[in-house]
Amino acid sequence: MKTRFKQLNRVTKILVSTLLMLLLILIVWLSILFNGQKNIQIAIVGPMSDLNVFGQEMVQGAQLYLDWVNKEGGINGKKFELITFDDRDDPDLAGEKALEIAKSTEALAVLGHFSSFASIRGGEIYQEFGIPAITGSATAQQVTEGNDWYFRTVFNNHYQSVFLAHYVKQVLNSSKATIIYNQNNYGTTLANGFEKTFVNLGGKIQNKWSLSETENLEDLQNQSFWDLLADKTQNDPGVILLAAHNGDVVNAIFQIRQKGLNYPIIGADSVGKATFATRFDEYYEEQKTPGYYSDGIYATAPIIFDVAGEKAQYFRNEYMEKYGKEPNWIAATYYDAATLAVEAIKKAQVNVEQLNLAKERQKVKTALAGINTEENSIEGLGGKLYFDSNGDLVVKSINVGVFDQQRFISAWTQLKPVENTREISINGKEFQDQQKLSVGNQYMEKTNIAYVGLDINEISNLNEKESTYLVDFFLWFRFRKNINADDIVFVNYAEDWLQSKARLDLVEPIAEKTIEGVTYRCYRIKAYFNGNFDFHKYPFDVQELAIKFRHNYLTASQLIYVIDQLGMRDTFSKDILSSLRMSQVFEDITGWKANRVNFFQDTLHNDSSLGDPQLFSFDSEISYSRFNASVEIKREWLSFIIKQLLPLLFFIGVSYLILFLPFDIISVEALSSLLLAIAFFHLNLLESLPSDGIGYVVLLDYIFYIVYGSFCAQILLVVLCKRKNLQGDTILSQRFIVMSRAVFPTVLSIAIIFSVYMYFNMS
């Protein structure tokens, strides 16, 4: 027996020594891996000096995405590093910085430059030295034309100018226009493209005034320029297009408003920024009446957040939480630029350890150029990102916004692509009557906007087994043209849970009025909704309590719901959540904590005609604009453990203490009884989940499986020790028990690590 004991003791020592050696090797390897690895460099260049707001937003938008990628582990454990360069938006300095990036860094891609003239100069260097660049702000065609190393995540001026001409002529219904533009690549391409298209549509350009690069509109305030605009008997300028940079646009608007002129004004992307209206804050009239200078001005933008989808809303909330301010579209387009750069580097399978810059940059450029179809596109904040043969972003439509009380919100009418081209009759008046336009090489449709606001009063009666919850809330609509935007269908109304199985219809509004052609209706609703809860991570699960609806029959090309930023006031997730908590909206939901609130518009697709003869001609799925109000709640796991899992901890503790009892009184029956009790307790806990079975194993099941395994191992050990050939060898039996005392907590530690792993890897 002593010989057997010595052999067992020797084996144990060898096993422990081997494990310690492997652990030491692992620690050394991880230390070398993480301390010695190179970061993957991406350069960003723009106007960074003097706290330039646009340069800041370029960096902040890109960094936000790279932070997320690095948090997720980067690429094969390698993190991304964003290195910044200041070109002061000067073409000559842009060339110098581009040369520095190409020759003195290991950057695999460049994000920037901000303006078109800086990008064109920098692009010459990138093409010569072979380094791919992506701009999220330069819109002049010359940036990418003839340069296969340059890409962009924003529309170009050719498309923008054509779009603007159609919008002025066919949406704003003006047959006259005046153009004020800068004499540079940005201004001239916009002005010339607009003029050509507008005239072809039957419009007339009343005036076309240019500004030299050294002049600004303040220099012209005493000349005939403003007098001509002010003399309505001699000159009706029509809609004024401002195709100029930010400072010049501000000066122009100031002069126009100071003279009391209320001509309609539309700006290009330089105007369509959320913070543009604040440029007038220094003036007395603006301080007295916010929006005095900017209200009613239209502008284009790559993204407007009130109509953006869920991903864009998460970006906006994260940006505001991190940087404490509202993002402009520049931050969003550089977030997208960083997204494309990272995806291209992934696809290129860059070898960072043995970096051949020329070779790896070429691979990244090839990967970017390969993102050229909708099928292999990358999901961006505003939709799918992919390039045409020139490296320009394929854009299906442009957002048009209007300023109201210093907020940049979606204009009442948008132009969106026609989904089903078979329904179009190219037949003059009939074509116009269908509210459809031919814009460039695509057909577009006049799409109405309806502003939607929602205030939650209370969420209660949370039923996990049925995935339902009761919501009491106010819902209001603002819309034009008698489109009855409130004729809606709640897509997640819990009608199957209710015995009546009736559709939830809006009854009489509690408030209704029409002012200047805008109808306002407000309703109070209290109903059950279905959440389709996901219990994979139960009891560490996060659930969504949502209210979702679409229009009863109008498709997304006819009506789009957007967040009423003016009416809701608070649209930042953190502020809304704070307000709801103060109002005790979640008081009835015990054991849960509200994490996030999000309001967004997305598209609901339906590939069935539902037997409607009007939909037979559709050769693709039907899309509806869907409004979503989502509250994310997280189970308070500590409270759950205290209230629900204490018996399990008690059972585990008792089973472990049994190992410290004298060997003679350790009972297989006692351990078996504990195991049976745990099994019943497990089933009891699962009673709170859907009764018809959820079809997958939840995290709690894995935890119990490990406990079952530990108990079975204990029982097997006790059975072995009580065998006849070991009963006489008390020392050897005790050695088994002592070993099990060490093995048991080790197994539990492994179980905890495994549970954490499962938590982060479960869908």
The two structure tokens encoding residue 217: 């509109």
Encode pLDDT of 550-598 as tens digits: 999 998 988 999 999 999 877 788 889 999 999 999 999 989 999 999 9
The Cα diameter of the chain in Å comes to 119
pLDDT of residue 233: 54
> 737: domain range?
639-761
420 occurs within a structural domain: no
What's the average model confidence in pLDDT over 315-340? Answer: 95
Identify whether residues 477 and 583 lie together within a single domain. yes
Q: Look at residue 50 and give its three-state secondary structure.
A: helix
| pLDDT averaged over every residue in the chain | 84
Region 620-626 average pLDDT:
83
State the CB neighbour count (10 A cutoff) for residue 735. 17
- H/E element, 762: none
Identify whether residues 649 and 688 lie together within a single domain.
Answer: yes
Given 635, 655, 690, which residue is the final one in a domain?
Answer: 635
Predicted pLDDT of residue 762:
56
Q: Say if residue 708 is in the same domain as residue 749.
A: yes
Does pLDDT of 144 surpass 70?
A: yes
Average pLDDT over residues 664-679: 78
Does residue 569 belong to any structural domain of this protein? yes
Maximum average pLDDT range among 32-41, 117-126, 634-643:
117-126
Label residue 524 exposed, middle or buried (CB < 10 Å: 0-12, 13-18, 19+): middle
Cβ neighbours for 41, distance < 8 A, ≥ 6 positions apart: 80, 81, 83, 105, 106, 107, 108
Cα separation, 328 vs 303, whole angstroms:
9
Name the domain boundary from 356, 385, 414.
385
Nearest one of 247, 244, 161, 245 to 205, comparing CA atoms: 161
The pLDDT of residue 662 is above 80:
no
DSSP 3-state assignment of 708?
helix
Q: Is residue 427 part of a domain?
A: no
pLDDT of 546 higher than 60: yes
Phi, psi values for residue 75, rounded to 5°: -115, 110
User: Within a domain: residue 406?
Assistant: no
Do strands 176-182 and 239-243 pair parallel, antiparallel, or not at all (unpaired)? parallel
SS3 623: strand
Q: Which residue has the higher pLDDT, 712 or 434?
A: 712
Mark whether 757 and 698 lie in a shared domain: yes
Structural tokens at position 176: 């006259």
Mean pLDDT on 72-97: 94
> By three-state DSSP, how is residue 473 classified?
strand
**Same-domain pairing of 470 and 610:** yes
- Look at residue 693 in the predicted model and tell me its pLDDT: 58
- How many C-beta atoms surround the C-beta of residue 42 within 10 A? 24
CA distance linking residue 134 with residue 340, whole number of Å: 9
pLDDT at 536 (0 to 100): 86
Top-confidence residue, 572 or 402: 402
Residues 64 and 164 both lie in one domain: no
User: What confidence score (pLDDT) does residue 55 get?
Assistant: 94
Q: Could you tell me if 201 and 145 lie in one domain?
A: no
pTM of the model: 0.85
Residue 422 covered by a domain: no
Q: Tokens 């939840």 — which residue? A: 698
Residue 638 has a CB neighbour count (10 Å cut-off) of 8
Q: What is the CATH number of the domain that holds 363?
A: 3.40.50.2300
Helix (H, G, I), strand (E, B) or coil at 45: strand
Q: Is 639 left (phi over 0), alpha (psi -120 to 50) or beta?
A: alpha
Distance CA 266, CA 116 (A): 21
β-sheet bridge partners, residue 176: 204
Q: Tokens representing 308?
A: 């953006």
Last residue of a domain, one of 336, 365, 385: 385
624 in the same domain as 495: yes
**Which residue in the block uniquely carries the two structure tokens 């505001």?**
320
Residue 85: which of 75, 76, 95, 77 has the closest Cα? Answer: 95
Instruction: Report the alpha-carbon distance of residue 351 to residue 342 in Å, rounded.
Output: 14
445 three-class SS: strand
Closest CA to 510 of 518, 520, 522: 522
What are the pLDDT digits (tens) for 338-351? 999 999 999 999 88
Assigned domain for 300 exists? no
What span, in angstroms and rounded, lies between the C-alpha atoms of 526 and 473? 6
> Same domain, yes or no, for 96 and 19?
no
Secondary structure E strands in 204-345: 204-211, 239-243, 265-267, 298-301
Whether residue 587 is found in the same domain as residue 669: no
Residue 568 DSSP one-character state: H
pLDDT band at 664 (very low <50, low <70, confident <90, very high): low
Report the pLDDT value the prediction gives residue 712, as an integer from 0 to 100. 81
Residue found under tokens 């008390």:
730
> Residues 529-544, buried b or exposed e (16+ Cβ, 10 A)?
bbbebbbbbbbbbebb
Cα 626 to Cα 489, 547, 667: the distances in Å are 10, 10, 62
Structure tokens at 633: 């709640």
Is 191 domain-assigned? yes
Residues 468 and 525 in one domain: yes
What letter represents residue 594's amino acid? A
pLDDT at residue 429 above 50?
no
pLDDT of residue 23: 64
Phi, psi angle pair for 493, to nearest 5°: -65, 135
Reported residue count of the chain is 763
Q: How many domains does the chain have?
A: 5
Res 297: pLDDT = 97
pLDDT (0 to 100) of residue 12:
56
- Residues 6 or more apart whose Cβ sits within 8 Å of residue 68: none
Strands 442-463, 133-135: pairing is: unpaired
How many C-beta atoms lie closer than 10 Å to residue 154's C-beta?
25
Going by pLDDT thresholds of 50, 70 and 90, the confidence category of residue 723 is low
At 130, list the tokens: 């072979």
- Tell whether the model's pLDDT for residue 8 goes beyond 50: no
End-to-end CA gap in the chain: 53
Task: Confirm whether 12 is domain-assigned.
Answer: yes
Distance of CA 239 to the CA centre of its chain: 35
476 vs 521: CA distance, rounded Å: 6
Report pLDDT digits (tens) over 280-298.
999 999 999 999 999 999 9
If you average pLDDT over each of 81-85, 665-669, 689-693, 717-721, which comes out highest?
A: 81-85
d(CA 119, CA 91): 8
For residue 42, the SS3 value is: strand
Q: Please report, for the domain that includes residue 497, its CATH number.
A: 2.70.170.10
601 shares its domain with 686: no
